[in-house]
Amino acid sequence: MDQRMPALFLGHGSPMNAITDNPFRDAWRRLGGELPRPRAVLCVSAHWETDGARVCAAAQPETIHDFGGFPAELFAVRYPAPGSPALAQEVVALAGGEVAADMRWGLDHGAWQVLMHLFPDADVPVAQLSLPRAYGGQQHVALARKLAPLREAGVMVLGSGNIAHNLRLLSPGGTPAWATAFDTAVAEAIDRRDLEALIDCGRLPGAAQAVPTPEHYWPLLYVLAMAGPNEPLRMFNTDYDWGSISMRSLRVG
C-alpha cells in the first residue's frame, strides 16, 4: 500500500527567493530533507488561472518564466522534472469530468521556485492543477476533496501562493497592520481547523488589502481541504517578504 503523503502550502513570495540567500529558501531545503519521497507531486500554483479546471499532462513540462524585470540569472533557471501524464489522468478520473487535460502548460515559477529546493535533483514527476477563475472558495474546496484520495496513492499535494499578497502595497520598511491582522486571523483559523472561516476570508480583518485578488490565497484551501481531522498541522516561515507578503507556510501530515 502506498504511504499517505503530506500536503504542503508554501508561501513563495518574490521569484528572487529561488536564487538568493534567504531564510525562506533555507526552510524549503530543510523541509525537502524531511519529506518522504512521493511517486509524484500535484502542484496548485497561484500562477496558472484558466477558464475551467485543467491539469498539465505534458510528459516533459517546460520551465516557465512568467515574470519580468528580474536579472538574467533568474531567467536562466531550468527545473527539468518529468511530468506525469498518468497522474493527470488520475486527476481527470477522480474529478469526474470537472478537470480537462492540458498539454500546453509547464511549471510556472510558483511551482519550480520551491520544487527546486524541495527536490533539487528534479527527479520527482510533477503535474500542475490550474485555478479556475470562476470558482469561489466552496468550489475549490469541493474539487480538492475529490482529489484527496491521491494522498493515499503516493502523491504529494503542493499549494504555492501567499496568504497576504498585494504587490501594490509592498512595504519594505515594515509590516503594515492590515497584513499582520489578516495573517494572524488566518493562522488562528488554521489552528482551529475552521475551514468555513477560511473559505469566507473576506470577513477576516485586513482582507480587503491582503487579498485584493484571490489567486494567491486559493492554494491554501486545497491543502486544508485534504487534511484529516486528526492530522498534525505545522506552520513555518511565519515572516514577511517585502514587508507585506505573508510567507506563512503549512505542512499537513
Angstrom distance (rounded) from CA 235 to CA 248: 7
Q: What is the model's pLDDT at position 49?
A: 98
Q: What is the model's pLDDT at position 1?
A: 43
Q: Please report, for the domain that includes residue 79, its CATH number.
A: 3.40.830.10
Q: What is the model's pLDDT at position 79?
A: 98
Residue 1: inside a domain: no
Strands laid side by side in the 249-252 sheet: 100-102, 54-56, 126-132, 40-50, 155-161, 7-11, 249-252, 233-236
Helix (H, G, I), strand (E, B) or coil at 209: helix
The three three-digit cell numbers of residue 118, written as one number: 524541495
Q: What is the model's pLDDT at position 126?
A: 98
Per-residue pLDDT of the chain (253 residues; tens, 9 = 90+): 478 999 999 999 999 999 999 999 999 999 999 999 999 999 999 999 999 999 999 999 999 999 999 999 999 999 999 999 999 999 999 999 999 999 999 999 999 999 999 999 999 999 999 999 999 999 999 999 999 999 999 999 999 999 999 999 999 999 999 999 999 999 999 999 999 999 999 999 999 999 999 999 999 999 999 999 999 999 999 999 999 999 999 999 9
Q: What is the model's pLDDT at position 3?
A: 86
Looking at the 3D structure of the chain, how many domains does it have?
1
Spatial contact of 7 and 160, defined as CB atoms under 8 Å apart: no
The three three-digit cell numbers of residue 180, written as one number: 499582520
Backbone angles phi, psi at 129, to 5 degrees: -110, 130
Q: What is the model's pLDDT at position 214?
A: 98
Residue 79: inside a domain: yes
Q: What is the model's pLDDT at position 115?
A: 98
Spatial contact of 103 and 59, defined as CB atoms under 8 Å apart: no
CA distances from 20 to 17, 24, 74, 200 (A): 5, 10, 10, 35
Residue 2: inside a domain: no
Domain that holds residue 224: 7-252
CA distances from 112 to 62, 80, 81, 128 (A): 10, 9, 9, 11
